[in-house]
């Protein structure tokens, strides 16, 4: 029985998608839930799987083609059996190289692994896969690249040295070629670029700065981190959960920072959905902590860790990345000391965290060395006045420097 394979249903915020990689070809046998194709949108990579046991009969939309929500992309024959291929002679099979053995069956690559292979000019068929069903993962590709580099480094000293000759005057010889490579921008990167430009063109964006003494938070972590980890099944106590909790409390006190502009209206949100910017191989993504006001430190840390793993593997869902009333970006993990974060429309503000650095500070008339962090709050001046924005950032500073205030709601 022929079955139509259609693109997933995209939400309203996603106009279309791109056929990234077909993992099965016409005539290939498939088991139920086998991965057929990756669909790349401007937010996530969606996987389309086989609806039942059968054979992929026809591909309607090839790799690189743009598709819309629920558009027909392939025809699948349920219950069909792939035609048997003639077996190769035993001797030929034994002497065949790994690349030759895979001529009839292309290896299954994850999107991240395929991008790495393309960037380094590697034939995917020579990469041994350790994933399910021989799937080549990003880690497999990295190991293969590293092994090739080591092999080349070991082989270099054994090469015979050419006999020394007196060079004749010739034209200059360059040691290597100036190589350029042109690749299409991914949909995610293109969408990020578009939104960042829109934010700067449409919002009256301004940034205010402050600094926070991180010693109280660091002392609290040092005192309770082991007990916290045991209590919450291995969840580690990080800095981000304190910033999320402080942001939630500050947003409750300054509702305009949690609001957004919709045409000529201001929409005040009665909940705090905090977006946490996460860097991935595909680009910057911002998964959202839903109803962060109801989450404890452990739940926040566990959810953020889950987001990071999903972003690394390209498994974040569209529902996990839509919405959000406020965003926190941590450039400090990359060593950034100070920056001006760009708004995530239609949100009215974004908080930038930075590197913790020991600095001499005046405390009660004495100079002390304290672990300080610069904070940056970029905000839309159309909605927020300087007084509200500065007061909001000062509130976050005060809550972080005296964490007990978050528990006592003072």
Task: Map residue 400 onto helix, strand or coil.
Answer: helix
358 labelled catalytic: no
> Which ranges constitute the DSSP H helices of 3-137?
90-95, 98-101, 111-119
From 118, 319, 381, 402, the catalytic residue: 381
Q: Which of 363, 329, 324 is nearest to 346 (CA)?
A: 324
Q: Which of 400, 322, 341, 331 is nearest to 12 (CA)?
A: 322
DSSP state of 234: T
313 labelled catalytic: no
From 33, 123, 385, 402, the catalytic residue: 385
Q: Which of 294, 292, 293, 318 is nearest to 304 (CA)?
A: 292
Please, what is the end-to-end C-alpha distance for the chain in angstroms?
66
How far is residue 361's CA from residue 401's CA, in Å, rounded to a whole number?
14
Task: Map residue 343 onto helix, strand or coil.
Answer: coil
Task: Map residue 93 onto helix, strand or coil.
Answer: helix
Question: What does the CA dihedral 275, 240, 352, 212 come to, rounded to 10 degrees?
Answer: 150
Instruction: Give yes or no for a contact between 292 and 300, defined as CB atoms under 8 angstroms apart.
Output: yes
How far is residue 193's CA from residue 198's CA, in Å, rounded to a whole number?
9
How far is residue 115's CA from residue 111's CA, in Å, rounded to a whole number?
6
How far is residue 373's CA from residue 385's CA, in Å, rounded to a whole number?
24
Which are the catalytic amino acids?
381, 385
């Amino acid at each position: 029985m022929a079955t139509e394979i259609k693109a997933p249903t995209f939400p309203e915020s996603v106009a279309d998608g791109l056929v990234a990689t077909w993992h099965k070809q016409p005539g290939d046998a498939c088991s139920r839930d086998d991965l057929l194709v990756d669909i790349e949108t401007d937010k996530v990579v969606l996987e389309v799987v086989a609806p039942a046991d059968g054979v992929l009969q026809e591909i309607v939309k090839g790799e690189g083609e743009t598709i819309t929500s629920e558009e027909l992309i392939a025809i699948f024959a349920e219950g069909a059996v792939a035609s048997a291929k003639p077996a190769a002679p035993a001797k030929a099979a034994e002497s065949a190289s790994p690349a030759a053995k895979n001529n009839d069956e292309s290896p299954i690559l994850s999107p991240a692994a395929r991008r790495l292979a393309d960037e380094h000019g590697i034939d995917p068929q020579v990469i041994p896969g350790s994933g399910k069903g021989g799937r080549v993962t990003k880690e497999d590709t990295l190991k293969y690249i590293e092994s090739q580099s080591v092999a080349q480094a070991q082989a270099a000293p054994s090469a015979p040295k050419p006999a020394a000759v007196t060079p004749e005057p010739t034209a200059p010889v360059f040691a290597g070629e100036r190589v350029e490579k042109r690749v299409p921008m991914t949909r995610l990167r293109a969408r990020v670029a578009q939104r960042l430009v829109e934010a700067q063109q449409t919002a009256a964006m301004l940034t205010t700065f402050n600094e926070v003494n991180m010693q109280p938070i660091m002392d609290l972590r040092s005192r309770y981190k082991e007990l916290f980890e045991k209590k919450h099944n291995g969840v580690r106590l990080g800095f981000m959960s304190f910033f999320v909790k402080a942001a939630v409390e500050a947003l409750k006190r300054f509702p305009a920072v949690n609001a957004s502009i919709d045409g000529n209206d201001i929409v005040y949100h009665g909940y705090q959905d905090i977006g946490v910017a996460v860097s991935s191989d595909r680009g910057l993504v911002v998964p959202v902590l839903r109803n962060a006001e109801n989450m404890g430190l452990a739940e926040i840390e566990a959810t953020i860790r889950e987001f990071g793993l999903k972003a690394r593997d390209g498994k974040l869902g569209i529902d996990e990345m839509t919405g959000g009333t406020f965003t926190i970006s941590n450039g400090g993990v990359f060593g950034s000391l100070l920056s001006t974060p760009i708004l995530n429309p239609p949100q009215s503000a974004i908080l930038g965290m930075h590197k913790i650095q020991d600095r001499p500070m005046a405390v009660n008339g004495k100079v002390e060395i304290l672990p300080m962090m610069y904070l940056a709050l970029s905000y839309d001046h159309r909605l927020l006045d300087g007084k509200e924005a500065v007061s909001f950032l000062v509130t976050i500073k005060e809550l972080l420097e005296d964490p007990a205030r978050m528990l006592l709601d003072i």
